[in-house]
DNA sequence: TAAATATAGTTATCATGATAACTATATTTA
DNA sequence: TAAATATAGTTATCATGATAACTATATTTA
């Protein structure tokens, strides 16, 4: 999350960085602007998911399982290859999704350590319900602070 | 924070959104790409600040006080006008910064509710120390996942 | 093939984000 | 001018991010 509402002026960047170069100041403000815009969008999405007792991470977990082309399941470790999140956070989110009845888990027959994760019917329909407005929020976003 | 490493293909966006429009799919992937890029950058900055026992929020608090043109202090409520963060989170961050000796606080003479926040010498030098590499991280960022 | 190492996943703990509800003071309104 | 409302800031509580250290099983190496 990036909180700064008013970006620093070029003069401020020059002074603070000690580098008096228009391209440098422009690059800095562009990056700050991007972080700000993304933060606003992430927050909108978080609010949306929270109103459905979900979170972005949980939604993305359902999505990466669903979008798998050749299988209808993933190992947790495969999810962590697709989502850039720490193992304990992923572990907890999977536990919550299982408790909610969105994921079914069973031990892998070949590897005693691994857990096979499949979407339940409820998980699939939750994903399907959430998707349209998810895209709507993404695309309606103005790119401006309101 | 946005975790998805591999963006969905155009075909996936079409199917998931039910909207078969190239501009729509492109807008979606652009927004996802932006969130991903910003998340990577925010994470780099968080790591940087953590290595100095700081956080982005605490850094920005010091910065908005320092960059004030006509005064060398701000009320907490003024900081919350400049930073898009909830009051309790701001309150806690200010408390930590005061305990670290980076901020000095005293009651306002006119308004018994308000607290006047000023940078200490240590707060100023911490800000000055952190600024150059902060800009370096912002500008060195490749925009690619590594 | 036994010992060492790697891998899958969990538990404990902490930092930092949020909202709801609060205290204390200032301002507005009837 | 007393009562109602607004404002500044805090406390309690929860969700969700992280790392460190762990268990259990699989794989590699001597």
pLDDT of B143 > 50? The answer is: no
The hierarchical CATH code for the domain B55-129 is 1.10.10.10
Cα dihedral angle (B97, B99, B104, B109), rounded to 10 degrees? Answer: 110
Residue with tokens 């998911």: A49
pLDDT digit string, tens, across residues B14-66: 999 999 999 999 999 999 999 999 999 999 999 999 999 999 999 999 999 99
Give per-residue burial for A10-29: e unless 16+ CB within 10 Å, then b.
eebbbebbebeeeebbebbb
The hierarchical CATH code for the domain A55-130 is 1.10.10.10
Rounded to whole angstroms, the Cα distance separating A86 from A80 reads: 8
Residue B45, SS3 per DSSP = helix
pLDDT of the residue at A143: 43
Looking at the DSSP bridge assignments, the partners of residue A75 are: A116
Judging contacts by C-beta atoms under 8 Å, the chain B residues touching residue A56 are: 1-3
pLDDT of the residue at A38: 96
pLDDT digit string, tens, across residues B62-105: 999 999 999 999 999 999 999 999 999 999 999 999 999 999 99
Put simply, the answer to whether B42 touches A138 (Cβ < 8 Å) is: no
The answer to whether the beta carbon of residue A136 comes closer than 7 angstroms to any atom of strand C is no
- Among A5-14, B10-19, B34-43, B133-142, the minimum mean pLDDT is found in B133-142
pLDDT of the residue at B140: 82
| A13 close to B135: Cβ distance less than 8 angstroms | yes
Q: Between the CA of residue A128 and those of A131, B18, B102, B109, B143, what are the distances in Å?
A: 5, 11, 49, 58, 31
pLDDT digit string, tens, across residues A105-132: 999 999 999 999 999 999 999 999 999 9
Rounded to whole angstroms, the Cα distance separating B127 from A75 reads: 44
Nucleotide nearest to A92 (CA to C1'): C10
Q: How confident is the model at residue A145 (pLDDT cuts 50, 70, 90)?
A: very low
Q: What is the mean pLDDT of residues A20-32?
A: 95
| B107 close to B115: Cβ distance less than 8 angstroms | yes
Nucleotide nearest to B78 (CA to C1'): D8
The answer to whether the beta carbon of residue A80 comes closer than 7 angstroms to any atom of strand D is no
The answer to whether the beta carbon of residue A106 comes closer than 7 angstroms to any atom of strand C is no
In angstroms, the separation between the Cα of residue A10 and the nearest Cα of chain B is 13
pLDDT of the residue at B145: 37
| B118 close to B65: Cβ distance less than 8 angstroms | yes
| CA/C1' separation A5–C30 (Å) | 40
Q: How confident is the model at residue B141 (pLDDT cuts 50, 70, 90)?
A: low
- Report the nearest residue to nucleotide D18, CA vs C1': A86
Put simply, the answer to whether A138 touches B28 (Cβ < 8 Å) is: yes
| B38 close to B102: Cβ distance less than 8 angstroms | no
Residue with tokens 């620093």: A8
pLDDT of B146 > 70? The answer is: no
pLDDT digit string, tens, across residues A46-89: 999 999 999 999 999 999 999 999 999 999 999 999 999 999 99
Nucleotide nearest to B108 (CA to C1'): D8
The mean pLDDT of chain A is: 93
Nearest to B4 by CA among A142, A96, A80: A80
Domain boundaries, chain B: 6-51, 55-129
Put simply, the answer to whether A3 touches B57 (Cβ < 8 Å) is: yes
pLDDT of the residue at B103: 97
């Amino acid at each position: 999350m990036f909180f700064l509402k008013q970006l620093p002026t070029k003069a401020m960047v020059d002074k603070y960085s000690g580098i008096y170069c228009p391209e440098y100041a422009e690059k800095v403000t562009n990056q700050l602007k991007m972080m700000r815009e993304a933060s606003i969008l992430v927050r909108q999405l978080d609010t949306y998911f929270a109103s459905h007792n979900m979170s972005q991470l949980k939604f993305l977990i359902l999505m990466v399982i669903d979008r798998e082309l050749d299988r209808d399941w993933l190992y947790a470790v495969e999810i962590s290859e697709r989502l850039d999140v720490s193992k304990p956070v992923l572990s907890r989110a999977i536990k919550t999704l299982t408790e909610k009845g969105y994921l079914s888990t069973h031990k892998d027959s070949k590897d005693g350590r691994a857990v096979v994760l499949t979407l339940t019917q409820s998980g699939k329909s939750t994903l399907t319900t959430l998707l349209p407005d998810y895209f709507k929020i993404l695309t309606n976003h103005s790119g401006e602070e309101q």
